[in-house]
Structures are given as C-alpha cells and as structure tokens.
Amino acid sequence: MCIVCEHQLYEEHRSAEEAPFDPCPECGKFPSNQGGSCYHCFSVGNTIDECPECLGKPWSDGFLSAKAQIEKESSPPGSRIH
C-alpha cells in the first residue's frame, strides 16, 4: 500500500477518536467525506486490500518512519528533550 493511502487510513482512525463527527453513510464508523463515503469504504477492497489498524496489524515501517520524521520537523524548537 502506498504511504499516502496509509496516512489517509491512519488519520481517519484518529479523527474518529477525537470528537463527534458526521458518520459515513455506509459504515458509520468513520467521518464522512462531505456526506459521502469515508476513505475506508472508498478504498478498502477497491484500491487497497486492507486497513492494518482495522485488522490489528501494525502500520508499515515506512509509514511510521515518515510520520516520525514529519512530527520531528514540525515540532517547535526547544520542545524536544534530548
């Protein structure tokens, strides 16, 4: 699976945990995309095979590495403890 798809799936899980949302009309588990299907319903089974988190699997090392690098670069100076 490409890292962009993995990111979309990851973010959808985080969005569902954060606050109330307008649910997907198909599954009701994740936020809808402006009233339409969530990314999970759109992609899983169509453009990608599975969502790792839904199956209790880990996210790919490539995704986690890129995520950590982005978070490191976007944190304010002095906020990291060495």
Residue-wise pLDDT for 24-63, tens only, equals 999 999 999 999 999 999 999 888 889 999 999 999 999 9
Rounded CA gap, 33 and 59, in Å?
Answer: 23
79 pLDDT higher than 60:
no
Rounded CA gap, 69 and 55, in Å?
Answer: 25
12 pLDDT higher than 50:
yes
Rounded CA gap, 12 and 35, in Å?
Answer: 15
pTM for this predicted structure:
0.81
Q: Where are the domains of the chain?
A: 3-59
